[in-house]
Structure 1
Amino acid sequence: ELLVQNYNIPFRQSHKIVALLVKNSEKPEDMLNKEKIEKCIFDVINEEIKISENIIQTLRKLDLCLERRISQGSPAEKEVRLNIQKLINNKKKLHNLFLKRLEMIGNASILRKKTIKNLIS
Structure 2
Amino acid sequence: MLVWDETDVLTVLEVIPEVEGDGIWHRYVVQRHGIELTVTIYQYDADVWFEMRSLGIEKPIFSMRIIDCPGIARKLDSTGEYLEFAASKCFGSRYDGEQTIPYGARVYARPTINVALFG
The structure whose residues are more often helix, as a share, is: 1
Q: Which has the larger radius of gyration?
A: 1
- TM-score of the two chains, using structure 2 as the length reference: 0.22
- TM-score of the two chains, using structure 1 as the length reference: 0.21
